Amino acid sequence: MGCITVFHHMGKFVSFRGKLMHYEAGDKHVVRGVNPDMWSYSKALGIVREFKYDGEVKVWWKPKKGRMDKDLRQMSVDMDALELANYA
């Protein structure tokens, strides 16, 4: 089975009065069937690389009902990916 993961990219983070408010413009890719037991930082980067990025890539995530100004988290190691998998 698996989870549905949505990647937003090619846009920008927008802030107002110092608070991060939303992610604007860009593209959205939905990836179905992601197995949370096999999820890792390298798996996430592999998916992002399929979008034709070849430079430095940063991956951020937040819970679906989380707020951009306080719940946004950077994924940079497998423990971060595991936290996302546990949430999902």
pLDDT tens across 53-83, in order? 878 888 999 888 888 888 999 999 999 888 8
Fill in the amino acid letter for 22. H
DSSP string, 20-86: EEEEESSEEEEEEEE-GGG--HHHHHHHHHTTT--S---EEE--TT--HHHH-EEE-SHHHHHHHHH
Structural domain harbouring 70: 3-87
Burial readout 4-36 (b: 16 or more C-beta within 10 A, e: otherwise): ebebeeeeeeeeeeeebeebeeeeeeeeeebee
Q: Are strands 3-9 and 19-24 parallel, antiparallel or unpaired?
A: unpaired
- pLDDT tens by residue, 25-57: 999 999 999 888 888 999 999 999 899 887 888
Total count of domains within the chain: 1
